[in-house]
Amino acid sequence: MTSSILEPEFMEQTLAGAAGKLLGAGPLLNDSPAWLQALRSSAWQRFEALPMPQRTDETWRFSNVRGLDLSAYCAPQPLAAEAGDDLVARSRGLDQVSGRMVFGNDQLLSQEAFSGQLREKGVLWLPLEEAFEQHPDLVRKHFMREDAILGSQKFAALHQSQVRAGTFLYVPRGVELSLPLETFHWMTGQAGACFPHTLIVAEERSKVTLVDYLQSADPASEGFASGVSDLWLEAGAQVTYVCVQDWSAKARSFQVNSTVVGRDARAVALSLQLGSAAVRSESVSHLRGEGGRSEMLSLALTLGRQELDQRTFQIHEVPHTSSDLLYKVALDDVSRSVFSGVIRVNPGAHQTDAYQKVRNLLLSDEAEANSAPGLEIEADDVRCTHGATTGQIDEEELFYLLSRGIPKKEAQKLFVDGFLQEVIARLGHDALGESLREKVHAKCGANHHWAE
């Protein structure tokens, strides 16, 4: 897309972006409720007080902490009407959804509910700003209640001081939504910024699926994004959350996720990491109710100089819980990946069943994969296993395909597709799976090694 969606004033500000519009501006204090303003102000103080991460910090081991100069970015700027319409038109997700919300530069562009079910069943599905106004008690009870604990405290604080865009989804007890909900977050302009937020509160025995799409209007623009997604599952709830991260190839992005799993609840969270020059993703599962289960999934194809830095924490707080993590990364060119994840079993959390599996597929001689799968176990009656492998396409398997007349490029694509497909299949959602797969294929197409 073109940059014509920018208003002239914004272009000027962008050029003067180094003046520190984002950093100098302080917390976002619009006409929001007093409690929120207080929260944002204290978050801003934390943001300013916390030091920038250093490579010597254990939570930033292997990370590239350069290029974190936030003064290079501007606060989210208002969009022109036609630019907004353009983005709404480009917000294509699944064919069948219950509802779709679109944000551009942290501003609500459209909200469509395709299912009458939502209102009838008492489901709240609101832009975050509306939820702050209309359901302050419900929101305050859950809004960023779990601290970021994997290293990005500073960026989570920044998020909290700036956040206004995103979805609040509340599903009452016993309500099941058969079709997914979708939220699109667009970032536009040069050196823009974006703070997408997702808050899901699923009451007892409710069931819902939400998909977030994080995208840049201009694939060549620079930008900064710091998103937070929090999932709260009460007893017996089932939540599937998918995040498709496809910011521009020059963006620097952060995602901080926390999932709190209640008794007999089941959370499935999947990240498809496609965009960003450098992305840092942190995901924490709190297994807080007996019988709770959390599945943590991620797949990525990294190209060029991309850096993918994923940190996870599976915290088993009570007995009889399970967690299962599967992270797969295919790396080409000079891209790098970091995985650092810990399974933690708290004292007394017996009958924990935890698994962690990390697979890296190196497609070039310059690609680099760093894995640090960890275990911290303080109970004896547990089953905890992890495995991390890094390898390449098997020569013999490749030879087999070549001998069947399949060109090498095509064969490599097939391998990558098969490699990543395992993660998508775990979703158990055909339409959504197919849509994710198409996105992976599109990225495969962007790999110049495989270009026709």
Partner 1 sequence: MTDTDTLDIDRSVGDFSYPEQHEFDAGYGLTADTVNYISNVKGEPEWIREFRLRALDVFEKKPMPTHWASKDLEAINFDKIRYYLAHGQKATRSWDEVPEDVKRTFERLGIPEQERKFLAGVEAQFDSEAVYSNIKKAVGDQGVIFVGSTEGLIKHPEIFRKWFGKVIPTGDNKFSALNSAVFSGGSFIYVPPGVKVKHPLQAYFRINAENFGQFERTLIIADEGSEVMYMEGCTAPKFETATLHSAVVELVALKGAKIQYVTVQNWSANVFNLVTKRAIAHEEAEVKWIDCNIGSRLTMKYPGVVLKGRKARGEVISIALASDGQHQDTGAKMIHAADETTSNIVSKSISVGQGRATYRGLVHMPKHLKGCKNNTECDALMINADSRTDTYPAISVRGTGNAAQHEASVSQISAEQIFYMQQRGLSEAQAMSLSVNGFVNDLVRQFPMEYSVELKRLIDMEMEGSVG
For binding to partner 1 (CB under 8 A), which residues are involved? 56-58, 61-62, 347-348, 350, 360, 362-393
d(CA 212, CA 214): 6
- Nearer of residues 115 and 371 to partner 1, judged by Cβ: 371
Q: What is the DSSP string of 350-369?
A: TTEEEEEEEEEEE-STT-EE
- Nearer of residues 179 and 334 to partner 1, judged by Cβ: 334
62: region left, alpha or beta (phi > 0 left; psi from -120 to 50 alpha): left
- Supply the minimum distance, in Å, between the C-beta of residue 165 and partner 1: 36
- Nearer of residues 388 and 427 to partner 1, judged by Cβ: 388
How is residue 75 written in tokens? Answer: 């606060």
- Supply the minimum distance, in Å, between the C-beta of residue 97 and partner 1: 40
- Nearer of residues 272 and 315 to partner 1, judged by Cβ: 315
Q: Minimal CA–CA distance to 284: which of 267, 301, 302?
A: 267
d(CA 210, CA 277): 25
- Nearer of residues 206 and 335 to partner 1, judged by Cβ: 335
Q: Where are the alpha helices (DSSP H) in 21-144?
A: 21-24, 34-49, 81-90, 117-120, 128-134, 136-142
Q: Are 278 and 306 in contact (CB under 8 A)?
A: yes
Tokens 């310059």 sit on residue: 366
SS3 161: helix
- Nearer of residues 37 and 390 to partner 1, judged by Cβ: 390
- Supply the minimum distance, in Å, between the C-beta of residue 364 and partner 1: 6
- Supply the minimum distance, in Å, between the C-beta of residue 371 and partner 1: 5
Q: Minimal CA–CA distance to 71: which of 9, 15, 19?
A: 19
How is residue 355 written in tokens? Answer: 């698994």
- Supply the minimum distance, in Å, between the C-beta of residue 385 and partner 1: 5
- Supply the minimum distance, in Å, between the C-beta of residue 261 and partner 1: 21
